[in-house]
Amino acid sequence: MSAVKKVVLAYSGGLDTSVILKWLHDNYQCEVVTFTADIGQGEELEPAREKAKKFGIKEIYIDDLKEEFVRDFVFPMFRANTVYEGEYLLGTSIARPLIAKRLIEIAGETGADAISHGATGKGNDQVRFELGAYALNPDIKIIAPWREWDLLSREKLLAYAEKHGIPIEMKHRQGGSPYSMDANLLHISYEGRHLENPGAEPEEDMWRWTVAPEKAPDAPEYLEVEFARGDICAVNGQALTPAQVLAELNRLGGKHGIGRLDLVENRYVGMKSRGCYETPGGTLMLKAHRAIESITLDREVAHLKDDLMPRYACLIYNGYWWSPERRALQVFIDHTQERVNGWVRLKLYKGSVMVVGRDSAGDSLFDPTIATFEDDAGAYNQADATGFIRLNALRMRIAAKRKGH
């Protein structure tokens, strides 16, 4: 083992990171600082503090990052209408650069020379955490226990915990959740066990945030959101903070069974992985944001954004949030949002969301005098279309004549 004096551990207090905490002491003989991020996962975090204290940890960080998470990571991503592989709203991916950022900050504050995480050697998160860490501190040492130890099964982890007197919750002893789950204010994900068969339908009792669409209210509900520079700032007339916006949209979307996804995705490490996701608030945000852009963005700007979005999505999914290319794209994306202001009305009903109204008092590019099917009083000269069409057809007309000879 390389010499490490102090390490900051991304610590949840669960089985894996509790084992890692002890393993770091045993294998690196180093001081450990624990960091637990509250990004809206909905769990009580004080037990993590108490468990860390029992291990003799002197420096314990439990940080409420919900507002920063939505304001500085979720909202910028949604300004780009970001979707990975046509469906995934990147709920796990977008949380990792924030955690990496805070790990590096705490390392600086405490004089630590290393960080550690509990991501496995098969997944994307190891890449995301470590790319972010190196981008922010190129000299940081990183300890990834899952790539070093031989505790490669839940049974081995439990045996190690029992041998070393690590408290084990009953849910771990009795089998716990049949899924590997990750939650934050944007989404909750499910992987593993039953879902490893891509032909098996998800069990209904798996879902935590959304009701089954067929059990959702029989009456539709209307929702109005207000945008300022591309971000939602009010819901149903009430001004809210970024985290409050997402929490309220999660409540409304979940009530109507909106935001479920069953996906086989391509991981950056090369394998295909099946996961299920609940992103009720994000689903509403994406629908509303595209609607307000439809009347406030220039056509070519909107199309250019759509062209760049898959590249931007891959950068986030693969862990390049802190890269120069993502930062450069963000400057362009944010510039396009300067006049994305106004309101959107959504209709929520049994798993579906429909845009039923949108307007922007000062920034709309929709001109009813030009778009009307009635008499436009000369606002648009329809005769102009003749030359426009003939010029655009010129290359095809020339090609057609060549084929005829």
Question: Which candidate in 79, 96, 274, 358 is catalytic?
Answer: 96
Q: Which residue has the tokens 């929520």?
A: 348
* φ and ψ of 29, to 5 deg: 45, 45
Q: Give dist(CA 390, CA 75) in Å, integer.
A: 44
How many Cα atoms occupy the beta-carbon half-sphere of 67 within 13 Å? Answer: 4
Tokens for 364, please give them: 């709309």
Q: How many CA atoms lie within 13 A of 261 on its CB side?
A: 24
Concerning whether 63 is annotated as a catalytic residue, the answer is: no
Tokens coding 27 = 């294998």
- Report the C-alpha gap between 263 and 266 in whole angstroms: 10
Whether 96 is catalytic: yes
| Helices 15-28 and 154-163, axial angle in degrees (round to 10) | 60
Q: 255 and 217 in contact (C-beta within 8 Å)? A: yes
Distances (CA, A) of 158 to 12, 28, 162, 174, 240: 16, 21, 6, 11, 44
Residue 125: active-site member = yes
Q: What is the DSSP letter of 205?
A: G
Q: Distance between CA 2 and CA 77 in Å, rounded?
A: 38
C-alpha–C-alpha distance, residues 230 and 340, integer Å: 5
* Nearest-angstrom CA–CA distance, 256 and 338: 32
Q: Active site residue: 93, 125, 260, 273, which one?
A: 125
Left if phi > 0, otherwise alpha if psi is -120 to 50, otherwise beta: which for 84? beta
Going across the sheet that includes 231-235, the strands are: 238-239, 231-235, 221-228, 342-349, 352-359
Say which of 12, 16, 102, 116 is annotated catalytic. 16
Half-sphere exposure in the Cβ direction for 236 (13 Å, CA): 8
Is-catalytic flag, 102? no
- Cα separation, 299 vs 341, in Å, equals 16
Q: Residue 55 in 3-state DSSP?
A: coil
Task: Choose, from 38, 71, 113, 180, the residue flagged as catalytic.
Answer: 180
Can you name the residues that pair with 238 across neighbouring β-strands? Answer: 235
What letter would DSSP give residue 197?
Answer: S
Catalytic positions, please?
16, 96, 125, 180
